[in-house]
Amino acid sequence: MLFKKNIFLSISIALIMIFQIMFTGCDLTVDNPGPTGDAALDDPGAHEAVWNGSRFSLAQSLARLAFMGSEPALEAQAGERVHPIKLPLVSGQLQDDEINGEWNIAHEARYTAEEGVRRFERVMDESDFNSNPLVAKTLMNAGYANRLLGENMCAAVIDGGSEEPHTVHLERAEDYFTRALNVAQQANEIGVVEASYAGRAQVRLLLEDFDGAVSDASMVGDDFIHQMEYTITTDDHYNFIFWLNDNNPYRSNTVHQVYYEDYYENTGDPRVRWEDTEDRTAFDLPWNRQLKYTSRSSPMELAKAAEMKLIEAENELNNGNWESAMEIINDDIRSNVISDNTGAPLDVWDADNEEEAWTALKRERGIVLWLEGRRLGDLRRWTENNTPGEMEDMSSRSLCFPISEGERQANENIPLN
């Protein structure tokens, strides 16, 4: 895999930051010893850096997939192509030669977390491994890294292997979340327990284990939110959706001629807030700037309570209980959101039948998960299952990221064509 040559970059950055903090005020004059040796990461003092490396890589993966996937998923459209990281050249089409970076970074996030787990298993005794907070967190990161891949990639390719169904990543994610739960419960890491239940609910929904998804979703509190943090320390760790949109002259995307443009104007729903800058992009489009993320360090959400409610609602729809689904969507979610236009709770979705209820569910998931790297996964599964209800027309657009050109060139198990 192409990403392997940089696999310890995130871990090395984390080690450097820790050592700087430890030795502030001391004489730091040393000879450069070169790259951190692999064996050094076996030391217990480096284990926090191993976990931090998995977190750093996961943050990169989330930001890049959310940015690149936003255009084909019709969450935004391209505005300019100034920055080296660009939205697709052909609108709606994710080409294998354009997504090398996203492919490599997403698999680096998976590998970094999974390899961290393997390292902990190798160097810790069983009792320590099964109750160690860093193990729980790294297992959880492996779950979310695989979930991102399963939602966004057309196929799974594991460490130079052959092409497999994309659901392989979802199955791996389910296993890692289950293991994270077991360790986090023994380590009394309550936040990891809740975030792992939420992540497993997400992948079980995608695997069509609706009973399991609802059971996990019920374990998540009404105020739950699990975010990925970003910093301004390095541009590799910026929130890319903000940076590539807000930082003039990049203006890489615009909330124009997509569903969320008119929806926000009509409802004032702050979850899809944008502003008219009264400026235009290089493509001569109004530069309607998204305001979900307002700085380079704005966090991005990996899971939240509102999505858990939508999992329950979708299960009700699958069981033919569309009225119950609408009660969840309107009473448990929309009634708790205050409109920017009126200062009052949002208007409810109206539905008189099952198909209209499915339309409401699809729209509400798009709003709740806007610009979080989640929409392509939903659009693909609803298209493949011919699910009732209106949504974006994806007949001429990519539903997932293809195997990258770089992977095909480097992996003898994947045909070049």
Radius of gyration from C-alpha coordinates of the chain: 22
Hey, where are the domains in the chain?
A: 2-23+39-231+399-410
Question: CA–CA separation, 20 vs 13, rounded Å?
Answer: 11
**What local confidence, expressed as pLDDT, does residue 413 receive?**
97
**What local confidence, expressed as pLDDT, does residue 85 receive?**
80
Q: For residue range 180-200, what is the model confidence (pLDDT) as tens digits?
A: 999 999 999 999 999 999 999
Closest CA to 140 of 64, 188, 222, 198: 198
Q: Quick count: other Cβ atoms within 10 Å of Cβ 390?
A: 12
**What local confidence, expressed as pLDDT, does residue 247 receive?**
65
C-alpha dihedral, 103 to 209 to 381 to 151, nearest 10°: -10
Alpha-carbon torsion 204, 205, 210, 215, what sign? positive
CATH classification (class only), 2-23+39-231+399-410: mainly alpha
> Within the chain, which residues score under 50 in pLDDT?
1-2, 4-5, 8, 15-24
State the number of CA atoms in the 13 A half-sphere of 143 facing the CB: 28
**What local confidence, expressed as pLDDT, does residue 4 receive?**
47
**What local confidence, expressed as pLDDT, does residue 248 receive?**
67
**What local confidence, expressed as pLDDT, does residue 19 receive?**
43
Closest CA to 98 of 365, 414, 398: 398
Closest CA to 200 of 226, 175, 222: 175
**What local confidence, expressed as pLDDT, does residue 27 receive?**
54
